[in-house]
């Protein structure tokens, strides 16, 4: 019974609130319909106002054309004969003023903007407007007619300014001005309107109508209007058209604020506010009351019917609420129990976050506080130049969560700064339905430790690379020594032999020529050796097109002397294959493998010391195989040989970095692969066992 009372109490409150909203909307609907009916009238009035303005524009343009096309008038103006010009146009001006009493201004101005003749005030002339009056400046500048409202020496008028030419030479302009009352009075007399004229404050350079007090509203000033607006304008927002009723002296009026008067540059120079009287407001109120009474009756009947239905199913509702409550509690427990930060969002605005979110952003206690400062968790993401990091709300023009969902193959990360610490997160997004709404679940896993460990590993790798370079440099120096030993010996022997033969008078021209040729040949060999080592050491990190066979020859040339010294035979089976990759890095990798085979073969107690190098195509790959007959690698360590610092040699002979760097070069730089295995094979009717590296 307690639950039932509470339920019906809540239902009654909801019912009353709902009915209030419906009644309010019904009131708004009827009122808006009524307003729209009268707004149509105001729109018609605005159309007529613009029509009056267009008629005025054509009429004044015709009057201007009559003057500028009169040769006597333009000649008097050209000759600066003010009296003659006045005598020629005054009669025409007076006649036009009788036809249109709102015509107040007819002024001739020189090309510099100075007043030559005011027909309406002939004694006032000589003042310059070349820096103040934009319509005057632009007409003289562009030498074409301009139209628009503008405030002059006296007050605002609608002006038509036309350039004057005499014998195709621009000599000035004529300005004809009509008071805005021309339009205001036409509208007022036709439609019985209340009106007010508001002028843009930026145009108030003179005291309009000599009023001591001017009311200002936003960017506009009320310069004249009926008593209706003097008393009501303080409650009007002139930047909007509220379409609301205004009660004035027991009558209702509908307001219009959208009739603008523009200057010649299409900027709003003034606003004409007007209000038309509403005649049938009682009809509106009667319709409103009838609709409200009908709505209340229907709502009461509905309440009775719902009461009967709810009484029958209250028990079922209660059981369902218990089940839903239990499920909701379970979901919240799981949601808040997650160690990762979990956020529900549409990609731009957060709707829900778990406990881990507020543990991290501990300055906020709820989602409302967070969304006062940030709408999206991505607003907290720091800028990062590393690949895969999210830097803002959009990725390639798409909302970031949508982008991740449509590109699930990527790995996405983000950094968030808390205090002085930079935290790294792995970002995952999944789409779910929550509260009848499709939302994105954002999962932020803290990977700060992993990132820091990776950076430490990269730092160590750099150290390893530096060590490898030093080891490689020592190996190269040793190889240079091997390469140079024989040529230097030949050069030394040839030189000392020629000296002895010369002393014994046995040196003839042929012996001299043969020995010189031998010295030159060996010197060239020394020079070529230097070039090969220089090219290898230079190590440009730029991809080149090169032939695999040439690279293998270069690699062998670097260590050839050492191989010959230890009687190691090379058996080559090479195809001509062109690729684009890092030439020097491949040479370094090959040298590391061949040097390891050489070291193993040196320790071999055999006269047959063999290294086989084979190069061929396999579909879209180039394959290089290097094998020896040194007996192979022990099976218990073969899986470890590519690890850093792993070596089977004495510490004075190896660093354990050669094969590690080879693996790193092939996999990371050259985007290839390298494997090693022990094989048994037959060569020249002899059986051998050794290690085979396959790149």
How confident is the model at residue 53, as a pLDDT? 92
User: With contact defined as beta carbons under 8 Å apart, do 158 and 27 qualify?
Assistant: no
Residue given tokens 């030479």 in the structure block: 169
| Per-residue model confidence (pLDDT) at position 68 | 94
Q: Between β-strands 569-574 and 610-618, what pairing exists: parallel, antiparallel or unpaired? A: parallel
- List the structure tokens of 511: 């012996």
Most confident listed range (382-386, 499-503, 675-679) = 675-679
Contacts 24+ apart (CB under 8 A), 371-379: 375/348, 375/349, 375/350, 376/345, 376/347, 376/348, 376/349, 376/350, 377/343, 377/345, 377/350, 377/353, 377/442, 377/444, 378/414
Write out the DSSP string of 647-659: -SS-TTT--S-HH
| Chain centre to alpha carbon of residue 164 | 53
Residue 613: count other Cβ atoms within 10 Å of its Cβ. Answer: 20
- Cβ-Cβ contacts under 8 Å for 55 (sequence gap 6 or more): none
* pLDDT value at 435 more than 70: no
For 491, the token pair is 């050069």
Residues written for the chain: 695
**196 in Cβ contact with 222 (< 8 Å):** yes
CA atoms within 13 A on the CB side of 575: 11
Please give the Cα distance from 159 to 156 (Å, whole number): 9
Nearest Cα residue to 171 out of 86, 66, 77, 89: 77
Res 465: pLDDT: 60
pLDDT of amino acid 65 = 95
Give the sign of the dihedral formed by CA 481, CA 482, CA 484, CA 486: positive
**Cβ(117)–Cβ(86) under 8 Å?**
yes
Q: What is the pLDDT of residue 158?
A: 93
What does the DSSP assignment read for 76-145? Answer: HHHTT-HHHHHHHHHHHHHHHHHH-TTEEEEEEEETTSBEEEESSSTT----B-TTT-HHHHHHHHH-S-
pLDDT in tens, 111-142: 988 999 999 999 999 887 666 788 999 999 99
Q: What is the pLDDT of residues 70-112, one digit of tens each?
A: 999 999 999 999 999 999 999 999 999 999 999 989 999 999 8
**In the predicted model, is pLDDT for residue 460 greater than 90?**
no
Q: Are 200 and 151 in contact (CB under 8 A)?
A: no
Beta carbons of 444 and 452 less than 8 angstroms apart: no
CA 51 to CA 29: how far, in whole Å? Answer: 32
* Residue keyed to tokens 């400062």: 373
Q: Which pLDDT score, from 0 to 100, does residue 380 have? A: 84
Which of 258-267, 443-452, 481-490, 542-551 bottoms out in mean pLDDT, i.e. has the lowest?
A: 481-490
Q: How far apart are CA 110 and CA 88, in angstroms?
A: 18
Nearest to 628 by CA among 659, 597, 662: 597
Tally of CA atoms within 13 A in the half-sphere of 183 that contains its CB: 29
Cβ-count burial 639-674 (b if 16+ within 10 Å, e if not): eebbebeebeeeeeebbbbbbbbbbbbbeebbebeb
How do 686-694 and 621-628 pair as beta strands? Answer: antiparallel
CA 288 to chain centre: 52
Share of the chain above pLDDT 70, in %: 78
Residue 290 C-alpha from the chain's centroid? 56
Q: Quick check: 165 and 172 in contact, CB under 8 A?
A: no
Question: For the segment 576-588, what is each residue's pLDDT rounded down to a tens digit?
Answer: 999 999 888 888 8
Share of the chain above pLDDT 90, in %: 26
Which residues are CB-neighbours of 259 under 8 A, at least 6 positions away?
45, 46, 49, 271, 272, 273, 274
Structure tokens at 532: 């090969």
Query: What average pLDDT does this structure show over 599-604?
Result: 87
**Residue 629, helix vs strand vs coil:** coil
Between the ranges 395-404, 500-509, 572-581, where is the mean pLDDT highest? 572-581
558/570 Cα distance (integer angstroms):
14
**Residues in Cβ contact with 311 at an 8 Å cutoff, skipping those fewer than 6 apart:** none
Higher pLDDT, 9 or 512: 512
| The pLDDT of residue 204 | 65
- The predicted-structure confidence for 315-352, as pLDDT tens digits, reads as follows 676 676 676 566 566 556 767 777 888 888 876 678 78
Contact indicator for 346, 380 with CB cutoff of 8 Å:
no
Of 253, 199, 339, 336, the C-alpha closest to 42 is 253
Contact 429, 401 (CB under 8 A): yes
| Three-state secondary structure call for residue 37 | helix
- What Rg, from alpha-carbon coordinates, does the chain have? 49
Q: In which band, very low, low, confident or very high, does the pLDDT at 51 lie, cut at 50, 70 and 90?
A: very high
| 3-state DSSP assignment of residue 15 | helix
User: What SS3 state is found at 422?
Assistant: strand
Mean pLDDT for the chain? 81
The residue with greater pLDDT, 535 or 662, is 662
pLDDT of residue 254: 82
- Quick one: angle between helices 71-78 and 2-68, nearest 10? 90
**Which is more confidently placed, 660 or 479?**
660
| Nearest by Cα to 663 from 648, 641, 679 | 641
Segment 170-185 mean pLDDT: 92
pLDDT-based confidence at residue 646 (cuts at 50, 70, 90)? low
The closest alpha carbon to 427, from 439, 416, 408, 411, belongs to 411
- pLDDT tops 60 at residue 381: yes
Phi/psi for 443 (5° steps) reads: -110, 120
């Amino acid at each position: 019974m307690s639950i039932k009372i509470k339920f019906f109490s809540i239902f009654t409150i909801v019912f009353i609130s709902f009915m209030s909203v419906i009644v309010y909307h019904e009131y708004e609907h009827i009122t808006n319909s009524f307003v729209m009916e009268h707004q149509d009238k105001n729109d018609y009035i605005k159309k007529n106002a613009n029509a009056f303005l267009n008629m005025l524009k054509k009429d004044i343009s015709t009057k201007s054309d009559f003057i500028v096309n009169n040769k006597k008038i333009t000649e008097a103006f050209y000759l600066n004969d003010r009296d003659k010009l006045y005598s020629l146009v005054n009669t025409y001006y007076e006649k036009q003023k009788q036809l249109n009493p709102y015509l107040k201004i007819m002024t001739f101005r020189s090309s510099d903007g100075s007043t030559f003749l005011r027909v309406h005030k002939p004694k006032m002339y000589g003042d310059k407007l070349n820096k103040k009056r934009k319509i005057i400046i632009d007409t003289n500048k562009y030498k074409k007619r301009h139209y628009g409202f503008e405030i002059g020496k006296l007050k605002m008028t609608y002006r038509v300014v036309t350039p004057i030419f005499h014998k195709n030479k621009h000599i000035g302009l004529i300005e004809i001005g009509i008071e805005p009352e021309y339009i205001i009075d036409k509208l007022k007399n036709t439609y019985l309107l209340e009106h007010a004229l508001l002028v843009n404050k930026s145009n108030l350079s003179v005291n309009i109508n000599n009023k001591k007090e001017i009311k200002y509203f936003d960017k506009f000033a009320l310069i004249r209007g009926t008593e209706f607006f003097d008393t009501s304008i303080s409650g009007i927002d002139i930047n909007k058209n509220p379409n609301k009723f205004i009660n004035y002296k027991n009558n209702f009026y509908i307001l219009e604020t959208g009739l603008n008067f523009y200057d010649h540059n299409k900027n709003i120079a003034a606003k004409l506010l007007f209000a038309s009287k509403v005649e049938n407001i009682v009809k509106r109120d009667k319709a409103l009351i009838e609709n409200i009474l009908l709505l209340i009756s229907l709502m009461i009947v509905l309440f009775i019917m719902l009461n009967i239905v709810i009484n029958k199913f209250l028990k079922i509702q209660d059981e369902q609420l218990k089940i839903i409550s239990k499920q909701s509690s379970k979901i919240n427990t799981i949601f808040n129990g997650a160690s990762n930060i979990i956020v529900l969002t549409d990609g731009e605005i957060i709707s829900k976050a778990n406990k881990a979110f507020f543990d991290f952003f501990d300055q906020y206690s709820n989602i409302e506080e967070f969304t006062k400062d940030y709408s999206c968790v991505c607003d907290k993401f720091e800028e990062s130049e590393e690949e895969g990091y999210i830097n803002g709300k959009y990725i390639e023009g798409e909302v970031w969560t949508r982008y991740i969902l449509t590109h699930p193959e990527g790995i996405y990360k983000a950094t968030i700064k808390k205090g002085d610490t930079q935290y790294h997160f792995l970002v995952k997004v999944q789409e779910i339905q929550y509260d009848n709404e499709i939302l994105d679940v954002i999962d932020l896993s803290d990977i700060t430790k992993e990132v820091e460990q990776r950076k430490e590993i990269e730092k160590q790798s750099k150290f390893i690379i530096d060590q490898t370079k030093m080891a490689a440099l020592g190996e190269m120096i040793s190889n240079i020594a091997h390469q140079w030993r024989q040529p230097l010996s030949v050069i030394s022997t040839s030189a000392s032999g020629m000296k002895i033969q010369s002393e014994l008078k046995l040196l003839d021209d042929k012996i001299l020529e043969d020995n010189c040729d031998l010295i030159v040949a060996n010197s060239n060999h020394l020079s070529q050796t230097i070039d090969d080592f220089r090219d290898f050491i230079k190590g440009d990190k730029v991809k080149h097109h090169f032939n695999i066979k040439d690279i293998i020859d270069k690699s062998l040339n670097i260590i050839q002397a050492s191989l010959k010294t230890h009687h190691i035979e090379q058996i080559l089976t090479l195809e001509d294959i062109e690729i684009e990759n890092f030439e020097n890095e491949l040479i370094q990798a090959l040298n590391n493998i061949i040097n390891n085979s050489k070291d193993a073969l040196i320790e071999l107690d055999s006269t047959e010391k063999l290294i086989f190098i084979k190069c061929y195509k396999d579909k879209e790959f180039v394959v290089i195989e290097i094998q020896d007959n040194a007996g192979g690698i022990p099976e218990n360590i073969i899986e470890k040989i590519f690890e850093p610092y792993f070596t089977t040699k004495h510490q004075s002979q190896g660093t354990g970095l050669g094969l590690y760097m080879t693996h790193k070069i092939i996999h990371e730089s050259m985007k290839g692969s390298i494997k090693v295995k022990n094989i048994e094979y037959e060569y020249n009717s002899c059986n051998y066992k050794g290690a085979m590296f396959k790149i």
